[in-house]
Structure formats: C-alpha cells, structure tokens
C-alpha cells in the first residue's frame, strides 16, 4: 500500500545512520544515497516543527554488553574505529533533534524512545535508515506493537542483502504500516501541515 496519510503529530525516526554502518556495502541504495534522502526527510520535519529522532547503535568493544543468547551467526563487535557509532555529520547537530542510543537491533527495547514520543503526543512514526531487515524492521515491528501508525520511507533505507531488503519491503512492512517514497512522504507532510 502506498502511504495515504501523515498524522499531524508525526515524528521521523532515523535508524543507525552512523559512520561505520553508512560505509558498509549496501543495496539497493548506497549509504550516501540513504543519508541524502534521510536529510531531505529531516529537513521537511524540521520545517514543520515535527520531532526528528536520531537512533544510534553502540556497543562495548569487548562485547560485554552484547545481547546474550545462542546464535548460529554470532555478531560480536570486533575491532571498530573509535568513531564507528557517531551519527553522520549530515544529520548531526540540529539542536531540537532527539538522540536515542540502543544496544540491540530495535530502537524501542531498553531505550526511552517510546517515552520521548509519547511526551510529544506522537501518533505516527516515519522510519528511515539502516539496515532494512534488521534495525528498521525491528523498530517497525515494535512501533506497530506499541500502537503507532507506521510509515516506511522505502527509498531511504538499504540492506547488506538484497533479498532481505526485498522481503522486508514486500512482505513485512505492508503488515506493519504503509510504505512510500521520500517525495511522497514529504508531500503528504506538507499537505497535512498546510491544512
């Protein structure tokens, strides 16, 4: 389904657009392409005085704060550059943005994201960021479970695996909310605020 509405009380939530992740080999869009579209969305939300949330993933280098559990493919942090978890410069620095730091895939678990949104009366979140099938999808699932209207800017996200990206876009996201392009979402936001 194509996005049909942007609530008057919407927030933009941008997942993991940070130095190390943006530099990964992503598909179907590159990190810089995703950042450019996220910047476009953030600019529109700022212009309409709507909240923008920047979510960043961090972890201790020794893995001591990693989520416990058995995995077939362990995801323990290795040797990461010192600034790997810093939000990219193109998005950092707006004084009104909310920054949420997470240590798991999704942005709700173990963070104050829900509290930050509810304090502002947010009823809908627009999601963008990296990676589609992990950070974005996990956050979308939790947002849906928390009762938010969920909109996903599908051209402002990418993944490490094209099939995983397509699965999220085609099979999972339509169950959780509505999808649309950056342009469609910005246009609807402008229409909503003009009325």
Pairwise CA distance, residues 52 & 96, whole Å:
8
- Torsion region of 164: left, alpha or beta (phi above 0 gives left; psi -120 to 50 gives alpha): alpha
Identify the structural domains of the chain with CATH numbers, from first to last. 10-59+84-194 (3.40.50.850)
Q: Which tokens belong to 39?
A: 């910047």
Predicted confidence pLDDT, tens digits, the chain (195 residues): 589 999 999 999 999 999 989 999 999 999 999 999 999 999 999 999 999 999 999 866 555 566 666 666 666 555 667 888 899 999 998 999 999 999 999 999 999 999 999 999 999 999 999 999 999 999 999 999 999 999 999 999 999 999 999 999 999 999 999 999 999 999 999 998 776
Pairwise CA distance, residues 86 & 109, whole Å:
20
Q: Which tokens belong to 191?
A: 């229409």
DSSP alpha helices (H): ranges in 28-133?
31-47, 113-119
pTM recorded for the entire structure? 0.93
- In angstroms, the Cα distances linking 171 to 13, 84, 128, 163, 177 are 21, 31, 17, 11, 11
Pairwise CA distance, residues 3 & 52, whole Å:
19
Assign 187 to helix, strand or coil: helix
List of residues 6+ apart from 64 with CB closer than 8 A = none
pLDDT at position 143: 98
- Tens of pLDDT, residues 131-165: 999 999 999 999 999 999 999 999 999 999 999 99
Query: Roughly how many angstroms between the first and final C-alpha of the chain, as a whole number?
Result: 24
Q: Which tokens belong to 19?
A: 């130095």
């Amino acid at each position: 389904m194509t996005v049909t509405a942007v609530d008057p009380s919407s927030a933009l939530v941008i997942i993991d657009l940070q130095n190390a992740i943006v530099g990964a080999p992503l598909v179907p869009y590159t990190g810089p392409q995703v950042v450019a579209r996220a910047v476009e969305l953030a600019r529109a939300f700022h212009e309409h005085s709507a909240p923008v949330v920047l979510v960043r993933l961090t972890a201790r280098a020794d893995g001591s704060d990693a989520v416990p559990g058995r995995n077939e493919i362990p995801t323990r942090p290795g040797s990461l550059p010192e600034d790997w978890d810093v939000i990219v410069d193109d998005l950092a620095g707006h004084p009104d943005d909310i920054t949420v730091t997470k240590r798991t895939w999704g942005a709700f678990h173990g963070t104050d994201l829900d509290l930050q949104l509810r304090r502002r009366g947010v009823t809908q979140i627009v999601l963008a960021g990296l990676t589609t099938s992990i950070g974005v999808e996990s956050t979308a699932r939790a947002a849906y479970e928390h009762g938010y209207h969920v909109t996903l800017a599908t051209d402002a996200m990418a993944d490490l695996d094209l099939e995983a990206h397509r699965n999220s876009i085609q099979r999972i996201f339509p169950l959780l909310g509505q999808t649309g392009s950056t342009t469609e979402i910005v246009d609807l936001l402008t229409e909503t605020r003009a009325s």
